[in-house]
A and B are shown apart, each in its own frame.
Chain A
Amino acid sequence: MPEPRVINYRAAILEALFAEMRRDPSVIVMGEDVGAAGGVFKQAAGLFEEFGADRVIDTPISESGAFGIAVGAAMSGSRPVFEVMFGDFITLVMDQLANQAAKVQYMSAGQISVPLVLRTAVGIGANLGPQHSQSLHAWTAHIPGLKVVMPSTAADAKGLMAAAIRDDNPVVYFEDRTLYTLRGDVPEGDYHVPIGVAEVRREGEDVSIVATSRMVHVALAAADLLAADGISAEVVDPRSLVPLDVATLVASVRKTSRAVVVDGGYRQYGVTGEIAATLAEEAFDWLDAPVTRIGAENVPIPFSRSLEPLVVPDAPRLAKAVAELVRRR
């Protein structure tokens, strides 16, 4: 069993990258400023020095073309980890992702796989405004053929990156920038977390909070507040959106009979709606109240210091919504 020790989320991702690149020479990293610069968030620091320009490739600011090249490379023996600097910019690679990468395995009836990872940083918190703050993971989760993961802890950041790189399918890996400095126990050495397995982060009796990525930490803080109020909340982290571990989510709701789903993406047509509908379909007989969903407000995300924090819930607001649901008869 690998020894746990405390490192941060960003270092945990890097640890997986170093390990996988050492293990498998077909793994390459591509993105803007990922080379000698080490990434705009230092999320690729040191890779270039160890693996060189041949495997750590600085792309021009040509997301569509460069990601398309990564897809072609994945179809022909390479295993690219392609970075899109801000999650908002996945709009630029959508055709390559949705119409090519996601479909090649199916269209070729298994002749050709697309083993690649698209990693991208999302989330509010830096006053970056409408085009640099969104969490558009629902766009990718909508497309059959892709896998989608959203690690919330340092250990999962490492374990899911390792699993994503080893997976023979295109995996979209959403990392919340505000989690980069989050510290946690991360097993050393070879460590991976299976894609498609949820994790119960806190056990509770009265209500299930299904929370993704950074919202897991908001939910845990809300659960503390609720405990003080006599409400016992369970926090479940799906970790992967596709495939979704429906069984773990349903098991939680069977126990608590109430659910709140919270996610950093827009509420309209979003992940919260999908999970709420799934719970309604799969756990209707156990539910004592409709499922509450809380996503980002349906507005472009303001850069304003007074407004940005209102876009996604904080712990007190989430706790309030959960308490309202629990008190509902």
Chain B
Amino acid sequence: MSDSAKQKRKKAAAAAPPLPAAEQSLALLRQMQLIRAFEEKLRSLFSAGLVPGLLHLCAGQEAVAVGVCSELGAADVIASNHRGHGHCLAKGASVNRTMAEVLGRRSGYGLGRSGTLHLFDSVNGNLGTNGIVGGGIPLAAGAALSAKRRGRGEVAACFFGDGALNQGLMFEVLNMAAIWKLPAIFICENNGYGEFTAIEDVTAGLNPVARGTVFDIPSEAVDGMDVLAVREAAARAVARGRAGEGPSFLVCTTYRYGGHHVGDSQSYKDAEEVREWKEKDPILKLSRRLEAEGVASAERIAALEAEVQAEVLAAVEAANAEALPTADDLGRFLYA
């Protein structure tokens, strides 16, 4: 390694956020492992024709969901998007009920009628994954408005992709969040693509962060492959929200390893690009640090991995034992 490369490395290490306490660090790792395992299982079920509809997986992006949600409390709210399993699980959703819903079983959060695009979990403050790109953004801002009126320091966060950066709705909501000082946290997961189109091809302006600063919203670029970096940025945003200082805008650079949905041929991506991003894998990265800093052995990490695999398998088995919704369920819960 050259001297300057060494220097750079040192600098990066110095800038790297410190590991939280062992228990907390392991919880972050386990949460990311769980999301990865949950979705990898779904991927294989989908390939076997066992998942109705479309399936958008977030493999590669787990650090954003986990980093942000680790800073939220039970009374804080999130709104998610179409790539939302990670957000739901990180906010505390039951693995069994989430799996059941995605598999269309009656024990799911939506009675098995709604699926992956419409996962709601009121107990854990989740206003839903969303089938409309950008659709969750005003919902979170509305929850922030309710929170502000309650005055208990709660915040609302929403997750959306780079594709939603070009929805007029986002601009409208950022403007209102700023003028009303809503305790809202806007988290853009910039994974480089909206469906099959690269963000550069459809997005003017070099830096998405500017879309927050133009409204005088504290905005920052975040390494979305590093759960600790996300966590730190989220902590700052949450603190601002709780203190009544208004919204924050985080642009987390990340990558989805797979296609837009399972079954996407991904002809628009090259293999080298995917390989490079996988080297920055958020789960590997945290695992390595835990080992290097003596917080957890490789065996401990493997044991956690085995634990989440078992949890996911049990969820699939439980879901499979459940019925599909029946004709009696078709008209239920249309009105309150």
Query: Which residues on A are within 8 Å of B, measured CB to CB?
Result: 28, 54-55, 57, 59-60, 62, 64-78, 95-96, 99-100, 103-113, 115, 144-145, 147, 167-169
Contact = CB atoms under 8 A, between A and B. Distances in A.
Given A70-B142, A110-B336, 5 more contacts: A76-B127, A76-B147, A103-B118, A108-B110, A109-B109
Interface stretch (B8-16, B59-67, B165-173, B268-276): B165-173
B215 to A, nearest CB: 12
Interface stretch (B48-56, B132-140, B313-321): B132-140
Nearest to A96: B138
Contacts of A66: 172, 176
A68 B333 contact: no
A112 B333 CA distance: 10
Contact of B120 (A64, A107, A169): A107
B145 to A, nearest CB: 5
B140 A72 contact: yes
Nearest to B110: A109
Contacts of B179: 60
Contact of A78 (B121, B145, B172): B145
A112 B127 contact: yes
Contacts of A78: 142, 145-146, 149
Contacts, number: 145
Contacts of B150: 77
Contact of B176 (A59, A76, A168, A169): A59
A328 to B, nearest CB: 39
A73 B141 CA distance: 8
A108 B109 CA distance: 7
A107 B128 contact: yes
A64 B144 CA distance: 17
B132 A99 contact: yes
Contacts of B334: 105-106, 144-145
Nearest to A55: B149
B138 A72 contact: yes
A172 to B, nearest CB: 14
B157 interface: no
- 7 tightest A-B contacts by CB? A72-B142, A68-B138, A65-B172, A108-B120, A168-B336, A72-B139, A73-B142
Nearest to B77: A76
B131 interface: yes
B172 A77 contact: no
Nearest to A100: B135
A177 B236 CA distance: 48
Interface in B317-336: 332-336
Nearest to A69: B142
B172 A64 contact: yes
Interface residues of B, number: 46
A114 B149 CA distance: 17
B105 interface: no
B145 A104 contact: no
A62 B172 contact: yes
B131 A99 contact: yes
Contacts of A104: 120, 128
B175 interface: yes
Contact of A109 (B77, B135, B140, B333): B333
Contact of A76 (B113, B131, B142): B142
Contacts of A70: 142
A168 B110 CA distance: 19
Given A76-B146, A95-B132, A107-B120, A65 B176 contact: yes
Given A107-B118, A111-B120, A100 B132 contact: yes
Contacts of A28: 149
B142 A71 contact: yes
Contact of A111 (B122, B131, B138, B149): B122
B168 A105 contact: no
Given A60-B176, A68-B137, A109 B332 contact: yes
B114 interface: yes
A116 to B, nearest CB: 10
A169 B335 contact: yes
A77 B75 CA distance: 12
Contacts of A76: 77, 127, 142-143, 146-147, 156
A69 B176 contact: yes
Nearest to B329: A109
B42 interface: no
A73 B146 contact: yes
Contacts of B146: 72-73, 76-78
Interface in B65-89: 77, 79
B299 to A, nearest CB: 40
A124 B6 CA distance: 75
A216 to B, nearest CB: 26
Contact of A73 (B135, B143, B168): B143
Q: From B118, B149, B180, name the one whose CB has the most chain A CB atoms within 10 angstroms.
A: B149
Nearest to A25: B149
A93 B169 CA distance: 10
B134 to A, nearest CB: 9
Nearest to B127: A75
Contacts of B172: 60, 62, 64-66, 68
Chain A CB within 10 Å — which of B118, B120, B156, B335 has the most? B335
Nearest to B143: A76
A70 B123 CA distance: 21
Contacts of A103: 118
B79 A72 contact: yes
A248 B176 CA distance: 45
B169 A112 contact: no
Q: Indicate the member of B123, B132, B173, B179 with the most A CB atoms within 10 Å.
A: B173
Contacts of B131: 99
B176 A145 contact: no
